[in-house]
Structure 1
Amino acid sequence: MNISAIVSEDVVTVDIEDTILDVATVLREERVGSAVVLNANGEVAGMVTDRDLVVYGQMYADSLDQTLVNEVLTVDVVSVSPDTSIEAVTETMREEGVRRVPVVEYGDLHGIVTLDDIVVHLAGELDNQKLRNIAAVIESESPTRSADSLESETE
């Protein structure tokens, strides 16, 4: 099975010209831990995580509203195409030490796949209560699941 079946097309993105403070605001509002950074042409220029903001952004504590995200982003982004197998993606994640991988085809951002996405998918495929419990925890913490839950509560 390839990752196109589990890829999230709702990718949080920020512009390379955004400030660290802008990015932190987006991550908080979207309730996510990372964003894909796009250049002026809409191409993937890097990734930024909440950890990047804390570990590297603290060097700019006095100028968060003026320092651009390109000071803290990861530029060596590992990406995959939509037809990449789940096994190949997990191998790439392991080899590269990443948990989030943009899905890119012909330079266009199609989505993102995370380790959480893969765990939830595998829990659904395997008959294992322990995995289903882990998947339930992941889903309860997922921003999209939380937003869906909020919408259904208000209806």
Structure 2
Amino acid sequence: MRVRELMSAPAVVVGCGVTVKEASRLLDDGGFTMLPVVDDVGRLVGVVGEADVLADRLPPDPRLPVPGRRPRRPGRLVGDVVRRDVLTAAPGDNAGDLLVVMREGGLRSIPVVEDGVVAGVVTWRDLIHAFARPDADIDADVRRRLALRFGDRWAVRVDDGDVVLTSEHAADVPDRSLAIRIAESVIGTARCTIAAEVPIAAGT
């Protein structure tokens, strides 16, 4: 499954000239953890997240002085708090690889960028939505996509997100590889395998 299959698009984005207050409202209203920050032509500049908009907004108790601590004036605009060193994904990236990166990096969301322009965002919710998709919906989509390419050549069975394909033409290696790629492009497919070749009835 590719990132383009499950990303949230179009992404809600902000510019550097937007106020931090407005960015906070967008985060709150949309239930987002992060917003991509873009320039005038939609190219990614960085991101602004929950921690960024809250930085220096809630001053510590002055009765508890900390040596060396100096009060800082909070940024008013997104451009004052934007994080510019950002990990991104591409629409064609493998969603499984992205899951590993997000889990190991402790990331809750990642902007998806194509040719420098923000194409969408991938969040944990997007990944959960794909994983939770009913087998019947996966089955229907796999059958539809395979039929567009192969007609009725492949039979499909889906169990807990695992897709099993069966065909009397299963020994055709190029077709096997293409069929697997098509099935694995469907949202919710955990993996795809080819079952043993179906014998052709005598006299056919």
Question: Where does residue 27 of structure 1 map in the other structure?
Answer: 27
Q: Return the alpha-carbon distance in structure 2 between the equivalents of residues 111 and 69 of structure 1.
A: 19
Matched, 1:111 2:120: yes
Q: Return the alpha-carbon distance in structure 2 between the equivalents of residues 31 and 94 of structure 1.
A: 20
Over residues 35-75 of structure 1, what are the superposed CA-to-partner deviations in whole Å (9 max), with x where a residue is unaligned? Answer: 11112342111111123222x14179x976x7121232221
Work out whether residues 78 and 101 of structure 1, in 8 Å CA contact, stay in contact via their aligned partners in 2. yes
Matched, 1:96 2:105: yes
Deviation of the 1:22 alpha carbon: 2.0
Q: Return the alpha-carbon distance in structure 1 between the equivalents of residues 56 and 40 of structure 2.
A: 22
Deviation of the 1:30 alpha carbon: 3.3
Q: Return the alpha-carbon distance in structure 1 between the equivalents of residues 39 and 56 of structure 2.
A: 20
Number of matched pairs: 126
Matched, 1:127 2:160: yes
Secondary structure of residue in 1 paired with 2:98: helix
> TM-score if structure 2 supplies the norm length?
0.53
Richer in helix (by share): 1
Deviation of the 1:113 alpha carbon: 0.7
Question: Where does residue 138 of structure 2 map in the other structure?
Answer: none
Question: Where does residue 58 of structure 1 map in the other structure?
Answer: 57
Which structure 1 segments of 5+ residues have no match? 129-155
Question: Where does residue 78 of structure 1 map in the other structure?
Answer: 87
Over residues 84-132 of structure 1, what are the superposed CA-to-partner deviations in whole Å (9 max), with x where a residue is unaligned? Answer: 011111122134331111111111211111111112211226739xxxx
Question: Where does residue 42 of structure 2 map in the other structure?
Answer: 42
In angstroms, what is the RMSD of aligned CA positions?
2.7
Work out whether residues 20 and 57 of structure 1, in 8 Å CA contact, stay in contact via their aligned partners in 2. no
Q: Return the alpha-carbon distance in structure 1 between the equivalents of residues 122 and 28 of structure 2.
A: 20
> TM-score if structure 1 supplies the norm length?
0.68
Amino acid at match of 1:20: V
Secondary structure of residue in 1 paired with 2:132: helix
Q: Return the alpha-carbon distance in structure 1 between the equivalents of residues 35 and 83 of structure 2.
A: 11
Q: Return the alpha-carbon distance in structure 2 between the equivalents of residues 47 and 38 of structure 1.
A: 8
Q: Return the alpha-carbon distance in structure 2 between the equivalents of residues 114 and 27 of structure 1.
A: 14
Q: Return the alpha-carbon distance in structure 1 between the equivalents of residues 15 and 117 of structure 2.
A: 15
- Flag the 1:70–1:57 CA change in 2: closer, same or farther, 3 A: farther
Work out whether residues 57 and 72 of structure 1, in 8 Å CA contact, stay in contact via their aligned partners in 2. no
Amino acid at match of 2:121: I
Rg comparison, structure with higher value: 2
